[in-house]
Chain A
Amino acid sequence: MLKKDLGLLILLIVVAGIVAFLNPRFISPINLSNTANLVGLFGLISVGQGFVIITSGIDLSVGSILALLGVIFIDLLTTYQMNWALAVLVIVLAGTVLGWIHGFLITKLKMQPFIVTLCGLLLYRGIARWYTDDGTAGFAFGQSFPTLEWLTTGRVYGVPLTFVAFVLVAIVMGVVLHRSVFGRHLFAVGRNEEAARYSGIRSERVIAATYIILGALSGLSAIYFAMYTRSISPASHGTFYELYAIAAAVLGGCSLRGGEGSVFGIVLGTILLQVLQNLVNLLGIPSSLNFAVMGAVILIGVLADQQLVKYRNARAAARARSALATGDKAPAVQ
């Protein structure tokens, strides 16, 4: 585990401890279960966003993708009466295709990730609103999909299956990032793309792959969100969610400069964000301050982390210098 992650874990435990102390309802099974559900929902896109951020990219279109794919998913089930398993497949595939398009524009046509996905944010949101005539997409009365509903909103021993799905995805992605060849290459590309290319790494593929992974996870997440809310008004569904994902990744130790980050950190970042949301409710802080609390904590967290790194570097530099000075004395004399 990285030192960074350890620091975040301690922060999380401290914050959770304080909240639990101030309002014991925090650790009530129902509250924990609800929070875990939200962690699962937001975690999927946060992990994907983290991968993109490690390449020093960014994806702003996630929230709009959730809205667009969400309304299409509901439409497939209601208007077209499609088999739900097939519909799930179609939506995940659609997310993958959108990610592939982003990756293509960024790596092959050399567009900036910010621009590509900002346009995506506007485009998908617009299409989603047009698709439903700006109305709300929802299930017809009496429609039910027991298996799908159990898989997406069900709980086992109180543990929401969204959270289980997220944990599984996080474990797989953790292995991919920290143990696989692809993960190695991802870190290399994020730090120095040119050098990576000269080392024989197909850096364009690596970068495009992260957008595709995020696209697929967004598709999956769109289904979970759609089943969670059960009705989607495309003008507001998922707005700002890309920023939650970015915030979780950054809080979890991903640097926007690229080349840094861990899946465990992103998981902790996501949990911390949801605990903060929860804290606002439980401690009777006006809910209008919700964003302000989040912003303040992220700011302080990243600031503290930077100061720690600076301090560590200064100490390491001092050590290196003293080693250098003593090491130089002997052999330099001729």
Chain B
Amino acid sequence: MEPFLELEGISKTYPGVQALSDVSLSVAPGEVIGLIGENGAGKSTLMKILGGVAEATTGTIRIDGESRKALTVGEASAAGIAFVHQELNLFDNLDAAANVFIGREPKTPFFRLVDRKRLKAAVQPLMDRLGVDFSPSTPVVELSIAQRQLLEIIKALSLDARVVIMDEPTSSLTVSETRRLLSVIDELKKNGVAIIFISHRLNEVTECADRVVVLRDGRISGRLRGDDITHDAMIRLMIGRDLKALYTPPAAPPGEAMLELSGLRTSAFPDSAVDLVLHRGEILGLAGLIGAGRTELARALFGIDRPLGGTVRLEGREIVVNSPSEAIAEGIYLIPEDRKQSSLILEDTITANISLANIRAFAPSGFVDSALEEKNAMVQCRALRIKAPNVSTPAGSLSGGNQQKVVLGKWLSMKPRILIFDEPTRGIDVGSKNEIYTLMRGLADSGVGVLMISSDMEEVVGVSDRMAVMHEGSVAGILSRDRFSEEAVMQLAVGHSGVEAHTTRGTTPGITH
């Protein structure tokens, strides 16, 4: 099919940064283009130019053969370019139908009131087409993330989108929800809608993309098609080198038990208890579906929520942790899932963020000694290889990987005993991911107990020494490294034993694999 949208020789310069140079991309009806690249490779800039939010410095955008230099937001949506954002832009105080037609509500002839009948009549067929399980009048606040995403897609369809740009659409979806999304993509494709699928999850890219465009440092470093779309090829093009295997074995076999949980119950699953042992020097992976109670477990260990019952022993000694400050005093630190919300003060400098949890240590006289603070920050920046102009840089201006390292620096300057990572590399590019894995291994080898919660199958299988899989609030099974496989994890995560899983196979509807 003829491409209807072509970008030609797009370059974009921000003061001091060449974000894009000479990028060309064409989109034809009904094709799925995987767009991948490390963070900072220029994907978002390219998408901003497509969406009319940013203007290219040079280059042309051609829509149906008509060339122009830049688009406005209005022109972009008129041309059928729609976005499904990573941070969903829905209004949770309105209902589903209202969100679909926000900003262009059907109006009654008089008084400009919202014509609710017409609104619902317009939304319902789109909902039927995607087979969603909620109604136009469901308040968005009651929808799950996956349902909200479908709603965004419905919104795109209602705009007669010809190309839907999905930015990390699966990053917070469960396995089954991801499958559902991929089948929706299939459906859109059949209807001639093109998809630009931006993701760090290469499995999904492999599965759904007809072709893949790889960006590196603002340039297209390669294009792949059909059978050439492989993990290795994509990673090589993204980082410009081969990625060595994720797993590095520990320097010494794991030692004695560092952290023992017995019968720990959290408010999320009051009836399920967690028993778990974390050994010195090991990385224990905690796998499971989203909502299996892993984050709640981490929160309980870090004293954010009070456990309902059970005991926690640290190096053989029973401890009770009622607040994060008590957890910190015990040397138990949490690196939370939501970096921007819970880990960092984005407006503050790297220095301020690193000394935040331990400010008394930098105030020997009772007043904060900023020289001491900065010295420590510099030590951490060097040790963690944080890429920033200096330690006075605001944390918010760093890339995801470097932000995560600042969070790590905060805890490492305080001699951790137990480090709990909750989704340590979500939204972080491949290169930084590996650095973080190396750091985790180094910490484990130095005698820290590392507990890693991860929904990223590659990560949890690739990095852990041992794995506990949670299902509905309790540990469904522990896997040793020789028994690691995605299949084994998944079966435990959904609460099936191996045998049962085989009997249900084939009778389960909706699988296209």
Which A residues are within 8 Å of any B CB, using their own CB?
A: 175, 179-185, 187-188, 190-192, 194-196, 198-201, 259-260, 316, 320-321, 324-325, 327-334
> What is the chain B residue whose CB lies nearest that of A180?
B113
B475-513 interface bits toward A, Cβ cutoff 8 Å, 1 = contact, 0 = none: 000000000000100110111100001001100111101
Cβ-defined partner of B91 (8 Å) among A179, A259, A320: A259
Q: How far is the CB of B236 from chain A (nearest CB, A)?
A: 28
In the complex where A180-B111, A181-B105, A188-B91 touch, is A332 in contact with B144 (Cβ < 8 A)? no
Query: A195-B91, A327-B176, A332-B176 in contact; A181/B107 too (CB < 8 A)?
Result: yes
- Chain A to chain B: the 8 pairs with minimum beta-carbon distance, closest first: A200-B103, A195-B89, A199-B103, A331-B176, A259-B93, A332-B175, A199-B102, A179-B113
* Known interface pairs A332-B490, A333-B504; A187-B174 also in contact (CB < 8 Å): no
Q: A185-B103, A200-B74 are in contact. Are A334 and B513 (CB under 8 A)?
A: yes
- Sample (20) of A-B pairs whose CB atoms are under 8 Å apart: A175-B113, A179-B114, A181-B105, A181-B107, A181-B114, A184-B102, A188-B94, A191-B93, A192-B91, A196-B91, A198-B89, A200-B74, A200-B103, A200-B104, A324-B144, A328-B175, A330-B509, A331-B511, A332-B490, A332-B493
Indicate if B291 sits at the interface (CB-CB under 8 A): yes
Given contacts A331-B508, A332-B175, whether A187 and B89 have CB atoms under 8 Å apart is no
Do the beta carbons of B174 and A332 come within 8 Å of each other?
yes
Q: Are B105 and A184 in contact (CB under 8 A)?
A: yes
Q: How far is the CA of A191 from the CA of B291 in the complex (A)?
A: 26
Q: Does B224 contact A (CB under 8 A)?
A: no
Q: How far is the CB of A59 from chain B (nearest CB, A)?
A: 21
A328 to B501, CA, bound (A): 13
B112 neighbours in A (Cβ, 8 Å) = 180-182
Q: A184-B102, A332-B494, A333-B501 are in contact. List 15 more A-B contacts (CB 8 A).
A: A183-B114, A187-B94, A190-B93, A192-B89, A195-B90, A196-B103, A200-B74, A259-B93, A320-B291, A324-B290, A328-B176, A328-B289, A331-B510, A332-B176, A334-B490
Question: B22 interface residue, CB < 8 Å from A?
Answer: no
Whether B505 pairs with A330 at a CB distance below 8 angstroms is no
Q: Mark B80-112, 1 if CB is under 8 A from A, else 0.
A: 000000000111111000100011110100011
Query: In the bound complex, do residue B91 and residue A329 qualify as a contact, i.e. CB atoms below 8 Å apart?
Result: no
- A200 contact from B73, B91, B176, Cβ within 8 A: B73
Contact A334/B91 with A324-B144, A325-B291 known, Cβ cut-off 8 Å: no
Do residues B102 and A188 form an inter-chain contact, with CB atoms below 8 A? yes
Docked complex: B50-102 residues within 8 A CB-CB of A:
73-74, 77, 89-94, 98, 102
Residue among A192, A198, A199, A320 making CB contact with B144, cutoff 8 Å: A320
B179 adjacent to A198 (CB under 8 Å): no
Bound-complex Cα distance A54 to B144 (A):
25
B472 interface residue per 8 A CB criterion? yes
Which residue from chain A places its CB closest to the CB of B289 in the assembled complex? A328
Which B residue sits closest to A260, measured CB to CB? B93
- Bound: A332/B513 CA distance, A: 11
Q: Is the interface of A mostly helix, strand, loop or mixed?
A: helix
B interface, by DSSP: helix, strand, loop or mixed?
loop
Whether B128 is near chain A, meaning CB under 8 Å from some CB there, is no
Q: Is B208 an interface residue (CB 8 A)?
A: no
Q: Are A199 and B89 within 8 A (Cβ)?
A: yes
Which of A184, A321, A334 touches B94 (beta carbons < 8 Å)?
A184
Whether B268 sits at the interface, judged by CB under 8 Å, is yes
Measured CA separation A199–B155 after assembly (Å): 11
Contact of A333 among B111, B144, B494 (CB under 8 A): B494
For the complex formed, measure the closest distance between the CB of A213 and the CB atoms of chain B, giving whole angstroms.
15
**A192 to chain B: which residues have CB within 8 Å?**
89, 91
User: B447-489, CB under 8 A of A: which get 1 and which 0?
Assistant: 0000000000000000000000001100000000000000100
Which chain B residues border A328 with CB–CB below 8 Å? 174-176, 289, 494
Given contacts A181-B114, A198-B89, A325-B291, contact A333 B142 (CB under 8 A): no
Binding site for A on B (CB under 8 A): 73-74, 77, 89-94, 98, 102-105, 107, 111-114, 142, 144, 174-176, 179-180, 268, 289-291, 471-472, 487, 490-491, 493-496, 501, 504-505, 508-511, 513
**A334 near B487: Cβ-Cβ < 8 Å:** yes
Q: Complex Cα distance A333/B74, Å? A: 43
**Closest Cβ neighbor of B505 among chain A residues:** A333
Query: Chain B residues near A334 (CB, 8 Å)?
Result: 487, 490, 505, 511, 513
Q: Which residues on the B side are within 8 Å of A320 (C-beta)? A: 144, 291
B184 to chain A, nearest CB (A): 14
Which listed residue (A179, A182, A200, A324) contacts B174, Cβ 8 A? A324
**Bound complex: CA A325 to CA B269 (Å):** 12
Q: Which residues of A contact B91 (CB under 8 A)?
A: 187-188, 191-192, 195-196, 259
Residue of B nearest to A189 (CB): B91
CA–CA, A104 and B508, complex, Å: 60
Q: Which residue of B lies closest to A187 (CB)?
A: B93
A331 to B493, CA, bound (A): 12
Q: Are B289 and A333 in contact, with the CB atoms below 8 A? A: no
Residues of A contacting B176 with CB < 8 Å? 327-328, 330-332
Q: How far is the CA of A327 from the CA of B91 in the complex (A)?
A: 26
Report yes or no: A201 in contact with B113, Cβ–Cβ below 8 A: no
> Which chain A residues lie closer than 8 Å to B290 at the CB level?
324
Q: How far is the CA of A224 from the CA of B114 in the complex (A)?
A: 33
Query: What residues of chain A lie closer than 8 Å to B471, measured between beta carbons?
Result: 325
Closest residue of chain B to A331 (Cβ to Cβ) is B176
Closest residue of chain A to B292 (Cβ to Cβ) is A325
Closest to B176 in A: A331
Least Cβ–Cβ distance between A128 and chain B, in angstroms: 37
Q: How far is the CA of A196 from the CA of B289 in the complex (A)?
A: 33
Partner of A321, one of B268, B504, B513: B268
Contact in complex: A325, B472 (CB < 8 Å): yes
The answer to whether A181 touches B113 (Cβ under 8 A) is yes
Quote the shortest CB–CB distance from B371 to chain A (angstroms). Answer: 35
Which one of B105, B142, B289 contacts A332 once the chains associate, using CB atoms below 8 Å?
A: B289
What's the Cα separation between A260 and B141 when bound, in Å?
Answer: 13
A69–B492 Cα distance when bound, in Å, is: 72
Across the interface, do A316 and B494 meet the contact criterion of CB distance under 8 Å?
no
CB distance from A207 to the nearest CB of B (A): 15
Cα(A198)–Cα(B472), bound, Å: 39
Bound Cα distance A147, B291 (Å): 67
